[in-house]
Structure 1
Amino acid sequence: MEPCKIRLGRIHYINVDPIYYVFDQGHGPGWVEIVEAAPSVLNQMLLEGYLDVSPVSSIAYARHFAHWSLLPELSISSHGRVMSVILASRVPLKELQGKLILLSRESETSVALLRLCLEREGICAHLVREKLDSKEGLAKTAGAALVIGDTALQWGRNGLFPHTLDLGQYWSAWTARPFVYALWAVSDEALRKNPSGIAALVKVLKNSLKQGMDRMDFIAQHAGHKLGLPHGLMRRYFQGLSYDLGYKEQTGMLLFFERLYEKGLLEKAVPLKFVACSE
């Protein structure tokens, strides 16, 4: 008997392609409905009950853990350079004091990470959320821009912003720990109503990720065609990502939450609450 239908979110960036590989190949189960959107939109849709399961920003989980549980062993993380979360700047980092930094509206976790990095560097800048459409226009008005996802990969190859800070690389050099950008969460209401379906979805996603990792060269080639970027660059990008949520990733994420709590950017300490799935 098929599980009840599950509404599953999907970030509209290439970094999730390995986890959704079976769906892209037309082999996903019919009881899963995919809804694709920006990370910030998916966060809100899960919170408001329009989705049952979705990748969410790690900071969104920290704010709403009372209502969500985490799917085990799934994340988007990096143990160093990430390439898709960058501060693209017209001037060196230290010269951003007092300057305007534009922030992607699609990101929450990256904005919080940038705040920590700037504070550590003693930089007080004007941070403004903006729709980052034209890099040419931004280069004339802003000192820097926080860019994420596919846009960051594309912008990293232009010369309009000659200085780039990879926030994943900065965090790992600072803390010697990985950084977790996104997690897969289920609303506690959906888990209560359909525990067997959620358990089945966990198995589907893990199997899809395994197949995707085995076909990484194909995924990188497809991503390169989609974004107009070289195959070799795409391979390096995917090789720099981790999709696990093991001990190292969890300790890195908890450290991030602790730093935010210490700075008053989170209201309370954050526990990690996982779905219990039998194999």
Structure 2
Amino acid sequence: VLPEVSVGADGPVLSVCLVGAPPEQLDGATVSLGSTSRTSVVLAQMLLERRWGVQPKYRSDPPDLPVMLSHADAAVLIGDPALSASLVEGPAQGWTVTDLAQAWREWTGLPMVFAVWAARREFAQERGSELERLRQGLAGAVAHAAEHRTEVVAAAVARSGLPAPALEAYFAALQFGLDERQRAGLASFAQSYANYKGVSTPADLRILGPLTETPVTAGGSGI
């Protein structure tokens, strides 16, 4: 895993949500899983079954909220459809919108890391300089976006049609680093996923260092 770069949130993220009936009411109900994100789907399933203690029936659908809710009691969405549901459609229709990053934070006390940049270990050993250039480019893009937040928000408003204050709050909520808390959150998700799937050992994630690779553990050792 490349150091210092990820996509996540330490609380509400707005762009990953469960929309429809309240999660506690979904035992035996149908939940439509958006087909555009495996991480968010697994997060939703773990929260529903392990945190809220319900056993829904699942189906996979394209991320079209009205269609999803026409044959399901709730739907998992990410990205622009989730933002629209969180900020516009949910309040207008009276749907319950459950922010899954916030639910993870309340369940574990840790940030939710939705994405990292990773490479196979053989590739990292052979072409580490290329990965370092990639990391620098990603970190530079994050810094550039932070310095030009007004233009980023304006472009997002033009593309999505969502209100600027809401998008400003959304970009402020996103985290792009990989500090100790975020690494612990990543390790916790890996362990939770292993437990959920009945696997004895979680994925052996390692954060690439300048010369060595440092294992990530849920307890934070080696970080």
Query: TM-score normalised by the shorter chain: which range applies?
Result: 0.7 to 0.9
1:124 is aligned, of 55, 68, 72, to 55
SS in 2 for 1:186: coil
Deviations 1:179-235 (A, max 9, x none): 100001124454344332222222222122112111122111211111111111111
Deviations 1:57-101 (A, max 9, x none): xxxxxxxxxxxxx11110011000010110001x33222221111
Amino acid corresponding to residue 27 of structure 2 in structure 1: Q
RMSD between aligned residues: 1.8
Tell me the residue number matched to 1:203: 136
Q: Are the equivalent residues in 1 in contact too, given 2:18–2:97 (CA < 8 A)?
A: yes
Aligned equivalents of 2:37, 2:148: Cα separation in 1: 28
1:100 correspondence with 2:30: yes
1:263 correspondence with 2:202: no
Aligned equivalents of 1:164, 1:155: Cα separation in 2: 7
The alpha-carbon distance between structure 1 residues 248 and 136, as it changes in their structure 2 partners (threshold 3 A), is same
Deviation at 1:265, TM superposition (A): 5.2
Deviation at 1:111, TM superposition (A): 1.4
1:112 correspondence with 2:47: no
Percent identity of paired positions between Structure 1 and Structure 2? 28
The alpha-carbon distance between structure 1 residues 161 and 148, as it changes in their structure 2 partners (threshold 3 A), is farther
1:150 correspondence with 2:80: yes
Could you state the TM-score of these two structures normalised by the residue count of structure 1?
0.69
2:168 is aligned, of 230, 235, 243, to 235
The alpha-carbon distance between structure 1 residues 266 and 244, as it changes in their structure 2 partners (threshold 3 A), is farther
The alpha-carbon distance between structure 1 residues 226 and 265, as it changes in their structure 2 partners (threshold 3 A), is farther
Aligned equivalents of 2:136, 2:164: Cα separation in 1: 30
The alpha-carbon distance between structure 1 residues 235 and 227, as it changes in their structure 2 partners (threshold 3 A), is same
Deviation at 1:261, TM superposition (A): 1.8
Aligned equivalents of 2:70, 2:197: Cα separation in 1: 33
User: How many residues are treated as equivalent by the alignment?
Assistant: 207
The alpha-carbon distance between structure 1 residues 102 and 198, as it changes in their structure 2 partners (threshold 3 A), is same
Tell me the residue number matched to 1:181: 114
Could you state the TM-score of these two structures normalised by the residue count of structure 2?
0.85
Aligned equivalents of 1:251, 1:163: Cα separation in 2: 30
1:250 is aligned, of 179, 183, 197, to 183
The alpha-carbon distance between structure 1 residues 136 and 115, as it changes in their structure 2 partners (threshold 3 A), is closer
Which structure is higher in strand share? Answer: 1
Which structure is higher in helix share? Answer: 2
Identify unmatched segments of 5+ residues in structure 1: 1-69
Q: Are the equivalent residues in 2 in contact too, given 1:104–1:130 (CA < 8 A)?
A: yes
Identify unmatched segments of 5+ residues in structure 2: 212-223
